[in-house]
């Protein structure tokens, strides 16, 4: 394996693929398909600022996709369009074969600032979502479902507390419980853990991962945390800096589906993907915006699948996980 090119790099539009993972997604595989969306805001002087345009991104059913990019590149805007809270200036988003129009109970959002209703208790907040989903359900059933969701995120016993009596991590859990309680098909998360301390973040990541694997959720998540993306995602979407941000490339996570957060840094391929992501954030997110490669095709950004690099091999050879653990 070459030292200079630790990755198998394939431009989606060329290169015949052997690897099933990096093959271009067939239309029957696409559960969500973002098709050429743009978002523009009016700028002073009658002009328009383009946050992003011609953005394409397909997602499979049950896939966990993370989006990484610098502040202001339009990640929240993409998520809001997926949620139906905002309409794209151009293009469409197709979910399960239908173009989305507005919000839907099938797509649950976990908001960055937890967005709990402060005048309701924990139970009241979750029950509000449940009763919106099943409008005619009797009260007892609503409460039962809500309590189940609250227990899933480990908050059983705090049902009657108000949000102001909860810690930041607990509030975020209530937000997760509220999203899960309505049995969504798609989970949209906007930096759900960024305001939390490392320890709480770790436990919540474990919980979200367990829940998503168990329920086969399709997830779109925005994060600033490279390790979080590596731990949770199947694919990581890299955005160049804004304005006029683009999907620079899509990184396929080479780590096995079965991951252990605490042993993540010993997994083969970990350093390769981590270095790749950090390199992107530090330099290429800017250089690529200024000069996209000639072969760049917005419909099919290159798909990168990092494999075992020299760094990984060295790390594993000298420090076997067993010794450290």
Ligand X SMILES: Nc1ncnc2c1ncn2[C@@H]1O[C@H](COP(=O)(O)OP(=O)(O)OP(=O)(O)O)[C@@H](O)[C@H]1O
> Applying CB under 6 A, which residues contact ligand X?
41, 51, 69, 71-77, 242
How far apart, in whole angstroms, are the C-alpha atoms of residue 234 and residue 224? Answer: 16
List binders of another protein among 41-100 (CB under 8 A). Answer: 83-85
76 contributes a contact to Mg ion by CB under 5 A: yes
The packing angle between helices 198-215 and 168-181, to 10°, is 10
The DSSP output letter for 281 is I
* Cβ proximity of 246 and 293 under 8 Å: no
Residue nearest to ligand X (CB): 76
Strands (E) located in 69-201: 90-95, 98-99, 107-110, 186-190
Choice between 40 and 259, CB closer to ligand X: 40
Q: Measure Cα distances from 149 to 16, 98, 190, 205, 320 in Å.
A: 45, 29, 20, 17, 39
CB of 54 to ligand X, least distance (A): 16
9 contributes a contact to another protein by CB under 8 A: no
Residue nearest to Mg ion (CB): 76
CB of 122 to another protein, least distance (A): 14
> 68 - beta bridge partners?
238
The DSSP output letter for 51 is E
133 contributes a contact to another protein by CB under 8 A: yes
3-state SS class at 187: strand
With CB under 5 to 8 Å by kind, the binding choice for 72 among another protein, Mg ion, ligand X, none is ligand X
Query: Quick one: which segment of 25-33, 116-124, 136-144, 244-252 binds another protein (CB under 8 A)?
Result: 116-124
List binders of another protein among 258-297 (CB under 8 A). Answer: none
With CB under 5 to 8 Å by kind, the binding choice for 74 among Mg ion, ligand X, another protein, none is ligand X
User: Taking the CB of residue 101, how many other CB atoms lie within 10 A of it?
Assistant: 10
Tokens found for residue 261: 């957060």
* Cβ proximity of 211 and 192 under 8 Å: no
CB of 108 to another protein, least distance (A): 7
Query: Quick one: which segment of 93-101, 138-146, 162-170, 291-299 binds another protein (CB under 8 A)?
Result: 162-170
77 contributes a contact to Mg ion by CB under 5 A: no
Instruction: State yes or no: cis peptide before 240, omega within 30 of 0.
Output: no
Where do contacts with another protein occur on this chain (CB under 8 A)? 83-85, 102-105, 107-109, 111, 113, 115, 117-119, 128-129, 132-133, 162-164, 182
Where do contacts with Mg ion occur on this chain (CB under 5 A)? 76
């Amino acid at each position: 394996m070459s030292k200079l090119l630790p990755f198998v790099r394939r431009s989606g539009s060329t290169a015949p693929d052997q690897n099933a993972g990096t093959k271009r997604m067939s239309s029957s595989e696409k559960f969500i398909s973002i098709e050429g969306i743009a978002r523009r805001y009016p700028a002073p002087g009658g002009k328009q600022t383009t946050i992003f345009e011609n953005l394409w991104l397909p997602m499979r059913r049950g896939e966990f996709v993370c989006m990484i990019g610098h502040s202001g590149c339009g990640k929240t805007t993409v998520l809001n369009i997926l949620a139906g809270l905002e309409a794209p200036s151009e293009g469409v988003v197709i979910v399960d074969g239908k173009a989305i129009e507005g919000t839907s109970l099938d797509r649950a959002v976990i908001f960055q600032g937890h967005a709990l209703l402060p005048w309701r208790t924990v139970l009241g907040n979750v029950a509000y979502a449940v009763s919106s989903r099943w409008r005619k359900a009797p009260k007892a059933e609503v409460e039962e479902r809500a309590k189940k969701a609250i227990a899933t995120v480990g908050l059983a016993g705090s049902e009657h507390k108000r949000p102001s009596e909860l810690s930041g991590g607990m509030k975020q859990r209530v937000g997760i419980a509220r999203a899960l309680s309505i049995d969504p098909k798609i989970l949209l998360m906007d930096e759900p853990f960024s305001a939390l301390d490392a320890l709480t973040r770790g436990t919540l990541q474990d919980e979200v991962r367990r829940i998503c694997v168990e329920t086969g959720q399709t997830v779109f998540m925005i994060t600033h945390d490279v390790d979080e993306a590596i731990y949770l995602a199947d694919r990581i979407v890299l955005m160049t800096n804004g304005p006029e941000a683009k999907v620079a490339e899509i990184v396929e996570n080479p780590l096995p589906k079965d991951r252990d957060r605490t042993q993540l840094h010993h997994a083969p391929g970990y350093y390769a993907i981590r270095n790749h992501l950090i390199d992107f954030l530090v330099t290429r997110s800017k250089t690529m915006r200024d000069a996209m490669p000639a072969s760049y095709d917005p419909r099919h950004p290159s798909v990168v699948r990092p494999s075992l690099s020299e760094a990984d091999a060295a790390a594993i050879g000298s420090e076997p996980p067993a010794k450290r653990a």
